[in-house]
Amino acid sequence: MAVSTTGSGLPDARSGALPPSLTVLMPCLNEAETLVTCIRKATGFLDRTGLAGEVLIADNGSTDGSPELALAAGARVIQVSVRGYGAALRAGIEAARCDWVIMGDADGSYDFSRLESFVSALRGGADLVVGNRFAGGIDRGAMPLLHRYLGNPVLSWVGRALYHSKVRDFHCGLRGGQRQALVSLGLQSLGMEYASEMILRAEQASLRVAQVPTSLAKDGRSRPPHLNPWRDGARHLRLLLLFGDNATYALPAALIGGIGVGLEAVLSRGPLVVGGVRLSVGTLIAAMGLCLVACQVLLLGGFSRLYASEQGYRPRARIWRRSPGLSVTQGLLLAAAMVALGLAAFAALAVLWGETGFSRLSAVQVMGGMVPAVTAMLVGMEGLMTGALFVLLEPGDRSPPVTWSDPGVGGPGDASPRSSASAVGTRADGGSPLS
């Protein structure tokens, strides 16, 4: 990620000099209306508390003079060429010269003059400190109702449910952390979903995560916000699912599939009356649908795991190797067994038909045998086709360059190794040795 810096003047911790205590980091894209006020509040906080530090602006291509205003206000500015909220924060954390980094939006919605609770938590040993706007207070008009009562609560609940996190506000833009701990997480996201990835990776790495109440004010800009609620919400949800472990998909699949298999096992023997409601062929077909949905959920989990590994969100591992959960080889064997089970069920139905002299069977007899058989065969065939696709997507081992030597080239005793990339070479007369 290309980063250029201007306005430096503080000792660099990585050069061996004593680092300042706190970097106040603000991503910026055309925030001229509010940026200077945010910088002054952050600088005032550093002066008032006696903390050594810096105010760092990670500019993401502003065209309204924001970088010049930041420099004039005493901040250090870096230019981040890759666009995106996450890209700006990633570059800013890398460029920070302090032990601690507290980051927040430069739109005036967060009060940088009141960071005591964040500093206290960091001083107490927290690796990551996340603000909670719902505990600290949200001013009227500061957050759209859709975000306040649906988007943020639902996505935060999903994050807590899937990853056993205690963070109540996954998307709070005011947060801080130990710089080295944040760098060690190896965050990948470039967009708004960076906020969720930071929490998820911190939880997976067993970092000490703390929460502090923080207030949210109505921002001071006249233009629309950069946030696109539906697009960015979908990207947050996508990230939550990509980070899911085996249980994220296996538990829903087991619940749905268990209901489907149970209903098929009961109704294949005949109709069932429950509380005056007669369950028969229609419910049997619906049960088959549940089994197929459960299969799809498991396959989604497998593909999400493979994609997350390829994108760097999860440790890269060959899917053939032994790992928690079902391997591809085991999955193929299980799928083949399901197909065989379906064929056996068809054979049993044919035997039953033959015992009647190939006369007409009742609908209950036909569907009671046909639906379980079709279910087993469809699940099995889907598993086989998906397993084959996994095999095709399995990244092969890259072949290392093949070296060779020719003592006859360059005079006697010249046995210097050459790579396969130059194996064709040229003749002494300039032509190809193959011509």
Residue 319 confidence (pLDDT) above 60: no
Same domain, 200 and 107: yes
pLDDT in tens, 72-91: 999 999 999 999 999 999 99
Domain boundary pick from 190, 222, 242: 242
pTM for this one?
Answer: 0.69
Can you tell me the distance from the alpha carbon of 29 to that of 229, in angstroms, rounded to the nearest whole number?
A: 18
What pLDDT does residue 435 have?
42
344 against 164, higher pLDDT? 344
**Number of residues that make up the chain:** 435
What pLDDT does residue 358 have?
75
Q: Half-sphere exposure of residue 35, counting CA atoms within 13 Å on the CB side?
A: 28
pLDDT in tens, 224-254: 777 777 787 788 788 888 877 677 888 899 9
Q: Is the dihedral of CA 45, 74, 10, 54 positive or negative?
A: positive
Three-state secondary structure of 367-379: HHHHHHHHHHHHH
- The answer to whether the CB of 158 falls within 8 A of the CB of 237 is yes
Residue 17 confidence (pLDDT) above 50: no
Same domain, 68 and 28: yes
- As a whole number, mean pLDDT of residues 125-143 equals 93
What pLDDT does residue 425 have?
41
- The answer to whether the CB of 181 falls within 8 A of the CB of 128 is yes
What pLDDT does residue 407 have?
56
Domain boundary pick from 242, 259, 279: 242
Tokens representing residue 154 in the block = 């639902």
What pLDDT does residue 421 have?
43
- As a whole number, mean pLDDT of residues 307-312 equals 75
Range of the domain at 236: 3-242
What pLDDT does residue 117 have?
96
Query: Mean pLDDT across the chain, nearest whole number?
Result: 82
Same domain, 91 and 238: yes
- The answer to whether the CB of 352 falls within 8 A of the CB of 365 is yes
Angle at 313 between CA 309 and CA 316, to 5 degrees: 30
CB atoms within 10 A of CB 26: 29
CATH number of domain containing 7: 3.90.550.10
Same domain, 324 and 230: no
Can you tell me the distance from the alpha carbon of 277 to that of 288, in angstroms, rounded to the nearest whole number?
A: 19
Can you tell me the distance from the alpha carbon of 150 to that of 164, in angstroms, rounded to the nearest whole number?
A: 20
* Closest listed residue to residue 87, CA positions, set 9, 17, 188: 188
Same domain, 130 and 255: no
Domain count, the chain: 2
From its phi and psi, is residue 165 left (phi > 0), alpha (psi between -120 and 50) or beta? beta
What pLDDT does residue 270 have?
85
